A and B are shown apart, each in its own frame.
Chain A
Amino acid sequence: MGERITIDPITRIEGHMRVEVEVAGGKVVNAWSSAQMFRGIELILQGRDPRDAPLFVQRSCGV
């Protein structure tokens, strides 16, 4: 089994992300990508007026 490298947090991105890789022989042989925050806007929207949805959901991604 190779060496494990964890980059957490990844910088120069939007948000909180972690990447873990396994390196063997100078190359990545396995990788795991992990989002570190829960979104949950789907739950907030339940029971609301559908006209609210565009303004709520754009908060999850301004771009």
Chain B
Amino acid sequence: MAVGVEIPENARIIRNLLMGAQFQHDHIVHFYHLHALDWVDIVSAITKADPAKTAALADNVSNAQVGGAAYYKQVQQRLKTFVDSGQLGPFSNAYWGHSAYQLPPEANLMATAHYLEALKLQARAARMHAIFGAKNPHLQTLAIGGVTCVRDLKPDRIAEFLYLWKETQAFIRDVYIPDLLAVASFYKEWGSIGGTTNFMAWGEFPESDQEPDSLFMPRGVMMKRDLAGVKMADQEKVTEYVTRSWYEDGGAKHPYEGETKPVQEDPKYNPDKGKYTWFKAPRYTDEPCEVGPLARVLVAYGYGHKEVKAVVDSVLKQLGIPAAALFSTLGRTAARGIETLVIGERMETWINALIANVKKGDTATYQAWKMPDKGMGFGLNDVPRGSLGHWIKIEGGKIKQYQYVVPSTWNLGPRDDKGKPGPLEEALIGTPVADPKQPLEILRTVHSFDPCVACGVHVIDPDSNEVYKVRAV
């Protein structure tokens, strides 16, 4: 935008396909490998579940391609052998046997088996990125002006993508969504725990060069849980506070004017009165906003989005819960599955549009442009974890100013100048804690946001190779 270029249609479609594949892959991994163990007790699956009864349960609720008593017996045996070897691997560091685990043993075994199936599936889903993005993560083919995967607009490459998409989407439809509903049906009280107040989505998946009008997942903001009052969101209304963050004080600033001035002394962790985090505190019209799957689904639902509304209503009906229960940890985790299904289904139309273009000889993927001496611009997207905005100022053909506000900063950011907590901080209030030494319930709400704090830069001394850790305790 800062350089004033319109990308070709194929580039737009390929970017949508890459982002769609990212949603499919990322949300499957989050549900099974980062979040499920907050709800699923592996020890119960291994020691208490009856494989035949598990098979009967799975036949009833799931359309998984694998199943049967022999399969579940084999999974259970594999896990037993693994645990008996003394190496818990991915199942270490958890609160097995905690009183807040409520699934029957057979549901635990079914979900654990699908955890292992999802591990295999995600490795295949990631190959969609290899086709048009060269690798996963950190795609190599995105360029200002289009995409560079010129040689991959061929029938065999597109067909390979299509088959991987089909396999992934079948898993989402037949395994992920049924598992989500089965697990959620035992945790309905989490429909009133872990909610926040305001929601914002920049939107994603432009289906023409008209943005934001053509975004398949729409742009909007919803304040005070008012589903009927969703409004268009405007980047001019974004500011960031640093009062409680380890930066030099400087008041609320729009990202065009934003500064990155880390405190020069050792950062002191002072949650009660002072600074306590490297995250800034983003605000929209001076209010904290949750971003991510729940925000996107609520904004779309509020607008009456056909596909999103149909799936949301069906999920609410199957669980027997009201729309108000969406404002919760349960709603956040359900919304992630809902949008995976809806976006995944939509990808087929993008693949078909790409095939149609290639058939008629349109293989354009890049529009040339000229670097301006001076300019400014912003880019707004919605990535799996939420709203992502980048703001740039160019002078003398170089970057003069760059700021970006990422999903986890919105969700996990600290208090602002007025002491108003960030969304996660708000969501945690009221969470029951049965045993302070085993705070499983807190992890449920924290994980429901799918935190990504990997944006830390590890500072390495080139002479000693020593990694300096910023100690905050």
13 contacts between A and B (CB under 8 A): A7-B446, A10-B446, A15-B456, A16-B453, A21-B442, A23-B436, A26-B433, A32-B271, A39-B278, A42-B402, A50-B397, A53-B399, A57-B390
A5 cross-chain contacts in B, Cβ below 8 A: 433, 436, 439, 442
Assess whether B260 is in contact with A28, with CB atoms less than 8 Å apart. no
The answer for the CA separation of A46 and B432 in the assembled complex, in Å, is 46
Q: Which residue of A lies closest to B415 (CB)?
A: A32
The residues of B that contact A28 with a CB separation of less than 8 Å are 428-431, 433, 442
**Is the beta-carbon distance between A47 and B399 smaller than 8 angstroms?**
yes
Q: Is residue B115 contacting chain A, with contact meaning CB distance below 8 A?
A: no
Q: Is the CB of A36 within 8 A of B472?
A: yes
* A40–B422 alpha-carbon span in the complex (Å): 21
Chain B positions within 8 Å of A23 at CB level: 433, 436
Within 8 A of B (CB), among A43-57: 43-54, 57
B455 touches A60 (CB 8 A): yes
| Minimum Cβ distance to chain A for residue B138 (Å) | 5
What's the minimum C-beta distance from A39 to chain B, rounded to whole angstroms?
Answer: 4
What A residues does B237 contact at CB under 8 A? none
Q: A17-B451, A28-B431, A53-B392 are in contact. Are A42 and B456 (CB under 8 A)?
A: no
Give me the interface of A with B, judged by CB distance under 8 Å.
Answer: 3, 5, 7-8, 10-21, 23, 26-54, 57-63
Residue picked from A10, A14, A19, A34, most chain B C-beta under 10 Å: A34
In the complex, whether B37 has a CB less than 8 A from a CB of chain A is yes
Q: How far is the CA of A31 from the CA of B143 in the complex (A)?
A: 41
A61 touches B398 (CB 8 A): no
Given pairs A10-B446, A11-B93, A31-B424, 16 additional interface contacts (CB within 8 A): A3-B436, A12-B34, A14-B451, A15-B452, A17-B451, A19-B428, A28-B442, A32-B414, A34-B276, A35-B277, A36-B456, A37-B455, A38-B457, A43-B260, A61-B385, A63-B22
For B414, list chain A residues within 8 Å (CB).
32-34
The docked-state distance in angstroms from the alpha carbon of A47 to that of B428 is: 41
B104 interface residue per 8 A CB criterion = no
The answer to whether B430 and A27 touch across the interface, beta carbons within 8 angstroms, is: yes
Pair B371/A50 contact, Cβ less than 8 Å:
yes
- Check if B454 sits within 8 Å of A35, measured CB to CB: no
Q: Which residues of B contact A21 (CB under 8 A)?
A: 428, 431, 433, 439, 442
CB-based contact A34/B271 at 8 Å: yes
> CA A17 – CA B277 in complex, angstroms?
9
